[in-house]
């Protein structure tokens, strides 16, 4: 199996494991805490997550890219790591202190939960996943995460029994993250040695570091700020519905993010070695891959949503079903943007284009949320998110249309959108015919999978498309 496919599989597993705790425990926690309890946790977690973003700044993409470019040089990789980590450590300590003061002076009745979330913010100090992504050691990340997540799931089921246990749930979640980030340091000495950080290099890194932080911050406005604004401008019940809808959406998004995480260090390394023909080959293959996968996930998720929500979360969360359906287009839109971003803009160091698209989208999202959430609750936030994601894709397409054959990508892959729509109609009709239960949900998933896969395979056979064959070829340079 090629290293890219193997790393992609590991990263898909990793992304799913990051989500596995809330997904496995969601039906239980939704019933135990209810919409208001879940909304309270989501509100405090979202605020803490904002502080975490500032603690990490742009280290995920900057560190990943920087390590990938020097990973063949033992001396440079150690120097690069300690210079980047020093900046991360300083920012994480400062932000954690600021967050503690925020909890003391600005939290109201949710102060206890907010203070517990300090543990989550503190985990930023130890988060060096970017290093292992840069050297493409995803197996190590997956194994570590699997063990911690399993233990966390067990603790939730053992100790969280009622709405009064919200603080216990927050404590388990926060400690799980901190332990998960800390334990991986045991393995660092295998790959590098300590090198005294260079102050001049750290200063030089600040600008690109901050440039790559701006899109992270902008992205957070419509992925995290949405929840804070729903909680502030609407109510915690609406936030509870939205939280569970978003929780479902991030499952398919994790698969798409996995591809970008794997391809970023690989393509960055290709660019540093001048192998741009192979870079464009990977982009073309990735576009086809995300077209097939994202169309299946988007239409599949939309088709089963109104059965999934009450069956999975409980009848009290039935409104989450519509929200899942309305959110589903984000899967397809962000998939294309993810390929352009991680396989062209960031490896080519066109960070300004990436930043501009994210900032414009963030401003649009914030303005739309401000006016629409008071009127439409969670639905208003969804409109803002879809507009924001579409804006990012449009700006990035316009930015790279002279370098990449964007029109060809869409013409080659639009057929999968049609196949997905056929699947959606079939799945939706099946759900309306049968009763709202687990059997219906399983039936919908099976029928949808059979319909979509059959159409895709038949199409590739008729058109003699070699994509599946290429995916199975055991060669090192084939995706």
What average pLDDT does this structure show over 127-140?
81
Residue 253: which of 340, 337, 311 has the closest Cα? 337
Which pLDDT score is estimated for 82? Answer: 93
How many C-beta atoms lie closer than 10 Å to residue 101's C-beta?
9
Average pLDDT over residues 395-420: 91
User: Rounded to whole angstroms, how far apart are CA atoms 289 and 204?
Assistant: 37
Length reported for the chain: 479
Question: Residue 388 is encoded by which pair of tokens?
Answer: 């924001």
In 341-437, where does DSSP find H-type helix? 351-376, 378-400, 406-413, 415-433
Task: List the Cα angle 37/55/87 in 5-degree steps.
Answer: 165
Q: Tell me which residue of 117, 114, 94 sits closest to 105, measured CA to CA.
A: 114
Query: What integer pLDDT is reported at residue 313 of this predicted model?
Result: 86
pLDDT at 471 exceeding the cut of 70: no
pLDDT in tens, 260-274: 666 666 776 777 777
User: In 3-state terms, the chain is what percent helix, strand and coil (to 5)?
Assistant: 85, 0, 15
Of 36-40, 45-49, 120-124, the range with the lowest mean pLDDT is 36-40
Distance CA 268, CA 271 (A): 5
Dist. CA 12–CA 2, nearest whole Å? 15
> What are residue 219's phi and psi, to 5 degrees?
-60, -35
Full-model pTM: 0.71
Q: What is the pLDDT of residues 222-249, one digit of tens each?
A: 677 788 889 888 888 898 899 888 888 8
Residue 469 has pLDDT above 60, yes or no: no
Contact 68/134 with Cβ under 8 angstroms?
yes
How much is the pLDDT for 142? 74
**Region 371-384: what's the mean pLDDT?**
93
More confident residue, 254 or 458: 458
* pLDDT in the model for residue 122: 93
Separation of alpha carbons 234 and 172, rounded Å? 28
CA angle in degrees (0–180, nearest 5) for 74-80-83 = 140
Distances in Å between the alpha carbon of 386 and those of 6, 370, 381, 393? 32, 15, 9, 11
| pLDDT given for residue 474 in this prediction | 47
Read off the DSSP letter of residue 165.
Answer: G
Q: How does residue 209 score in pLDDT terms, banded at 50, 70 and 90?
A: confident
16 pLDDT band (50/70/90 cuts)?
low
Asked if 299 and 418 count as a contact pair (C-beta separation under 8 A), the reply is no
pLDDT digit string, tens, across residues 315-354: 888 999 999 999 999 999 988 988 888 888 878 878 788 7
pLDDT band at residue 137 under the 50/70/90 scheme: confident
């Amino acid at each position: 199996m090629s290293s890219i496919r193997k790393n992609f599989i590991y990263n898909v597993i990793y992304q799913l494991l990051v989500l596995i705790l809330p997904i496995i425990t969601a039906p239980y926690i939704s019933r135990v805490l209810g919409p208001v309890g879940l909304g309270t946790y989501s509100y405090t977690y979202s605020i803490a997550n904002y502080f975490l973003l500032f603690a990490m700044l742009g280290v995920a993409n900057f560190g990943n890219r920087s390590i990938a470019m020097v990973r063949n040089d033992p001396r440079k990789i150690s120097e690069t790591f300690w210079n980047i980590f020093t900046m991360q450590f300083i920012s994480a300590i400062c932000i954690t202190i600021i967050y503690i003061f925020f909890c003391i002076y600005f939290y109201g009745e949710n102060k206890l939960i907010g203070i517990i979330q300090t543990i989550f913010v503190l985990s930023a100090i130890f988060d060096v996943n970017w290093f292992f992504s840069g050297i493409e050691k995803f197996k190590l990340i997956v194994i570590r995460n699997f063990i911690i997540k399993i233990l966390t799931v067990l603790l939730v089921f053992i100790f969280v029994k009622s709405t009064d246990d919200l603080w216990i749930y927050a404590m388990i979640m926060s400690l799980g993250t901190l332990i998960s980030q800390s334990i991986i340091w045991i393995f660092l000495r295998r790959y590098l040695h300590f090198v005294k950080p260079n102050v001049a290099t750290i200063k030089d890194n600040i600008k690109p570091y901050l440039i790559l932080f701006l899109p992270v911050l902008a992205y957070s406005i419509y992925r995290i700020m949405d929840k804070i604004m729903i909680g502030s401008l609407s109510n915690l019940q609406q936030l509870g519905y939205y939280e569970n809808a978003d929780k479902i959406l991030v499952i398919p998004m994790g698969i798409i993010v996995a591809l970008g995480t794997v391809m970023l260090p690989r393509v960055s390394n290709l660019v540093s070695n001048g192998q741009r023909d192979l870079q464009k080959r990977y982009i073309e293959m990735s576009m086809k891959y995300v077209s097939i996968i994202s169309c299946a996930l988007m239409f599949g998720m939309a088709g089963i949503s109104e059965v999934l929500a009450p069956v999975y979360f409980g009848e009290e969360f039935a409104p989450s079903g519509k929200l899942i359906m309305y959110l589903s287009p984000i899967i397809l839109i962000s998939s294309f943007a993810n390929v352009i971003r991680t396989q062209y803009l960031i490896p080519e160091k066109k960070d300004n284009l990436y930043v501009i698209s994210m900032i414009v989208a963030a401003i649009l999202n914030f303005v739309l949320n401000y006016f629409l959430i008071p009127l439409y609750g969670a639905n208003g936030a969804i409109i803002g998110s879809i507009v924001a994601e579409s804006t990012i894709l449009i700006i990035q397409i316009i930015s790279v249309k002279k370098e990449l054959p964007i029109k060809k990508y869409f013409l080659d892959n639009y057929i999968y959108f049609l196949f997905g729509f056929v699947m959606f109609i079939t799945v939706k009709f099946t759900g309306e015919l049968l009763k709202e239960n687990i059997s219906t949900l399983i039936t919908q998933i099976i029928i949808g999978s059979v319909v979509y896969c059959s159409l895709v395979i038949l199409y590739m056979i008729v058109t003699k498309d070699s994509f599946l064959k290429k995916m199975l070829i055991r060669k090192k340079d084939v995706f």
